[in-house]
Structure 1
C-alpha cells in the first residue's frame, strides 16, 4: 500500500512515528511521512521518505504555552476547569497555528495514496481531506482523546473514575474543535465544500466508528471498558534510531567516569527562565550528591558545574538506560522513553497533557512525586531526586514495568491492522 503518515508539532510528536513508519516499510508498504521541514534529518536517517511542511506554526504556540508557567498545574494543582481555562487563554495563538497548517496539509496529501495515518493534531484537518479524496484514514494518536468515565481528558488534571469525566472529556473536545474553527473554514472553502462544524465532523467519525490506534501501553493506561469498537490501545511506537549513530566522546567518557548520572531535559518545553532553571538544576544535583547530564533542548538550557555536563540532542533509547533517574517535562514521548529505560522519573510538567502523564507516573509507582514547574526549587528537586534514587522501590517498579513494555509490539499491532485493510 501507498501510505502517508501525517504528524505535526514537536519532536515528541514526530519521533514515535519514525518507528511506526519503519515497521510499515519493513512490511512492504511504501511509506511517506508528512511533517515539518526541520525534522527532515530525523526522518531521513531512518530511511523513510518525507514530504515537508514548510510552515511550522507550532514554534510560536509552544513559546506561548511555556509562558503560562504551568497554569494547568498537575496533581494537587488547579483542576480540570483551570486547565481548560488555560487552554482557552491560548485560543488565539492555537487558532493561528492550526490555520497555518491547512494549506500545507492540503498540498501535501497525495490523492494516489491508499491510506492516510493521522496524528492527534493533524486529524481535524487531515481526516476531511482524506474523505474528500475518498482515501481511507486511521487515527494514530499518542494520547487518548475519546471521552470515558475511567479518567479525565489528558488536557486536564487526572481524575478518578466517574461520570463527570465524560462531561470533562466532551468539554475538552468542544474546546479543541473551537481552536480549529478558522482552519475548518479555510479548508472547506479551498475544497469547495459546505462548512461543517467541528462537533458535526467529530460526531460523524464516531458514528462511522473511525478507527483510532493509540501509541501507548495498556500497562500504562488500560483501554477503557466504555470505549466503542474501533478504538485500540496498541502499545508504544518506539522511535527508530539511526543505525550509524555513535555517542559523543564527551558523553561516553563522562558515563564511564563514575556512577550513573541523572538526566535533566525538557525538550521543546521550558518551565521558566533557562538561566534560573540551570541554577536550580546545578544546586539540586549538588545537594543530592548526584552527577548530572543536562540536555540543552530548544531554548539552550545550560549548566556548568562539577560532575555535570550539558549536551545537545541524544537518542533517549541509548542515553536513558544509562542514567539513575530522569527529570523531564512529562510529554507523552519523553514519558514513554523513560518508562522503556526502566529508570525512575521526576516529572516537572508545564502544559497540555504533561500534568496528566506526570500524575500517572506517580500512580504507577515509578516517580516519587510531581513537581509542577511553578513550584520548582533546588531544595524540592534535590529531595525528589533523593527519593527517586535512594528508595530501591522506585527502581524495582520501573524495571518491572520496562520488562512488560519490552514484551509488547505496538508498531506490529498497527501493521497487522493495515495488512487487514490491504487484503
Structure 2
C-alpha cells in the first residue's frame, strides 16, 4: 500500500514520523514522507521515499516575522501571530500536497496538515488518518496545550479547545475553498469541516505515552493515545569526541533548545555556562537553531546528535520542552529542567514537573545563571528526581506506540482489497 505521511513545521514535527514510517515500510508498505526539503536526509536515513514541500521553517523562524513571536508573552498572543504567519505561507504547499496525494493510497496527516490534507483526501476519495503529537481535541480536562497551562474551568477548557481547532482551520481558510473547487467538492466552511470529521469519528492516533497524558474521558470515539513514536536513528555510536568528553569526568548535563530561536544567543549561552558552573556541573551544549555556543574544558558544543544515544549518559537534560525532546528525556530516564519558550512547551514542562522528574519549569524569560544553577542543583542533588525518572523511563521504553498505527493502515489495506 502506498502510504504518504504528511507533516510540516520544525524538526520535532518531522522526526517522530521517520520511525513510524520505517515500521510501516517493514510491514510491507511503500512509504513517502512529505515535508519540507530541509528534512530529506531524515527520510533517507529511515529508508523512506521523500517528496519535498516548499518553505524552509528555519528561515521563516529567523525572519523578522518569525522573531516577532518572541514579543508575545502569552500563549494566545503567540498563536495569533503564528496563525497570521502560517496563513500567508499555506497556499504555497497546495500543489505539492495534491500531487503527493495522487501518488498515494492513504494519507497519514500530522496536526498542522489536517485541514488541507483531509480536504485533498476527500476530493480524491482516499482514506486518511490523523497523527497528532499533542492532545489537541477539545476536552474539559485541560486547556489546549498550545495556549498554555492551568484550567479555565470545564466549560472554558472545552470552548478553548474548540476555538483552537478553528484557529488551525483558519490557517488554510484562504486555500481550502480553491482546493475544494479544484477537486469537485461542494463549498464548506471551517466549522463545517471540523464537524464533519467529528461526525465521521475520523481516526486520530496520538504519539505520546498515556503515562504522560492519559486519554481524556470526554474524548469522542476515534481518538486514541497510541504511545510515543521514536525518530529513526541510524547511528549506533556517539561521535568519538563526544564519547571522550563524557568519559573524561562526572556525567555532564545536556542543554539544548532544539528548533527554537532566541533573541540573544550570545547572552543566553553565557548565562547557561555560568549556571552550569555555579552548580558544579559539566555541560554538553547543542547549538540548535538558536545558535548556542560554549567553550572550556568543562563544556562541549555539539550539533545534531540522536537524543537516544546522548541522553542516557547525562546527569540531567535542560531543554525547551518540545514534545519530541520531552519524550526523549523521559525515555532516557534522566531528570529534566524544562525551559519552555512558546506554544505547547509550557504544557509539556508542567507535565514533567507533575510527574516528579523535574523540580520546576524555568521559562526562558526567567532563565539566569542563578535560577538555572538552583534548578540543576535540585534536579541532580535530590536523588528522588533520578529515581522517578528511571522508573518512568523503563515503563515508557516498554510501550509500543507504533503497532496500533501499523494495524490501522493494515485494516485500510484489507478494506481496499475487499472493494
Q: 1:69 touches 1:373 (CA, 8 Å); kept in 2? A: no
Q: Which residue is equivalent to 1:377? A: 368
Q: 2:107 touches 2:128 (CA, 8 Å); kept in 1? A: yes
Q: Which residue is equivalent to 1:162? A: 154
1:75-154 equivalence runs, <5 A: 82-111=74-103, 113-154=104-145
Q: 1:239: how far off?
A: 0.8
**RMSD across aligned C-alpha pairs, in angstroms?**
1.8
Q: 1:61 touches 1:97 (CA, 8 Å); kept in 2? A: no
The alignment partner of 2:154 has SS state of coil
The alignment partner of 2:380 has SS state of helix
Q: Distance in 2 between matches of 1:66 and 1:393?
A: 38
In structure 2, which of residues 179, 187, 209 is the aligned counterpart of residue 217 of structure 1?
209
Q: Which residue is equivalent to 1:71? A: 72
The alignment partner of 1:121 has SS state of helix
Seen in structure 2, the aligned counterparts of structure 1 residues 89 and 239 have a Cα distance that, compared at 3 Å, is closer
Q: 1:189: how far off?
A: 4.7
The alignment partner of 1:260 has SS state of coil
**Relative contact order higher in (CA < 8 Å, ≥ 6 apart):** 1
Q: 1:247: how far off?
A: 2.3
Q: 1:415: how far off?
A: 1.1
Q: 1:294 touches 1:308 (CA, 8 Å); kept in 2? A: yes
Q: 2:320 touches 2:340 (CA, 8 Å); kept in 1? A: yes
Seen in structure 2, the aligned counterparts of structure 1 residues 326 and 302 have a Cα distance that, compared at 3 Å, is same
Q: Which residue is equivalent to 1:76? A: none
The range that moved more, 303-312 or 288-297, is: 303-312
Q: Which residue is equivalent to 1:77? A: none
Seen in structure 2, the aligned counterparts of structure 1 residues 196 and 8 have a Cα distance that, compared at 3 Å, is same
Q: 1:2: how far off?
A: 1.6
Seen in structure 2, the aligned counterparts of structure 1 residues 59 and 223 have a Cα distance that, compared at 3 Å, is farther
Q: Which residue is equivalent to 2:37? A: 37
| Cα distance per residue 1:363-407 (max 9 Å; x no partner) | 111111111111111110111111111111111111111111111
Q: Which residue is equivalent to 1:75? A: none
Seen in structure 2, the aligned counterparts of structure 1 residues 131 and 174 have a Cα distance that, compared at 3 Å, is same
Which runs of no fewer than 5 residues in structure 2 stay unpaired?
415-419
Q: 1:124: how far off?
A: 1.2
1:187 is the counterpart of 2:179 = yes
Q: 2:15 touches 2:231 (CA, 8 Å); kept in 1? A: yes
Seen in structure 2, the aligned counterparts of structure 1 residues 90 and 239 have a Cα distance that, compared at 3 Å, is closer
Q: 1:16 touches 1:240 (CA, 8 Å); kept in 2? A: yes
| Cα distance per residue 1:188-227 (max 9 Å; x no partner) | 3543544422211111001111000000000000001111
Seen in structure 2, the aligned counterparts of structure 1 residues 310 and 404 have a Cα distance that, compared at 3 Å, is same
Q: 1:55 touches 1:104 (CA, 8 Å); kept in 2? A: no
Q: 1:183: how far off?
A: 2.5
Q: 1:177: how far off?
A: 2.0
| Cα distance per residue 1:41-89 (max 9 Å; x no partner) | 11101111111223335641475455433735xxxxxxxxx42233113
Q: Distance in 1 between matches of 2:247 and 2:194?
A: 52
Q: 1:419: how far off?
A: 2.0
Q: 1:144 touches 1:214 (CA, 8 Å); kept in 2? A: yes
1:401 is the counterpart of 2:402 = no
Q: Which residue is equivalent to 2:219? A: 227
Q: Which residue is equivalent to 1:46? A: 46
The range that moved more, 117-126 or 98-107, is: 98-107
Q: Distance in 1 between matches of 2:150 and 2:38?
A: 37
1:344 is the counterpart of 2:307 = no
Q: 1:262 touches 1:291 (CA, 8 Å); kept in 2? A: yes
1:15 is the counterpart of 2:7 = no
Q: 1:314: how far off?
A: 0.2
Q: TM-score, normalised by structure 1?
A: 0.93
Seen in structure 2, the aligned counterparts of structure 1 residues 4 and 318 have a Cα distance that, compared at 3 Å, is same
Q: 1:215 touches 1:233 (CA, 8 Å); kept in 2? A: yes
Seen in structure 2, the aligned counterparts of structure 1 residues 104 and 270 have a Cα distance that, compared at 3 Å, is same
1:392 is the counterpart of 2:383 = yes
1:194-205 equivalence runs, <5 A: 194-205=186-197
The range that moved more, 193-202 or 126-135, is: 193-202
In structure 2, which of residues 382, 401, 406 is the aligned counterpart of residue 410 of structure 1?
401
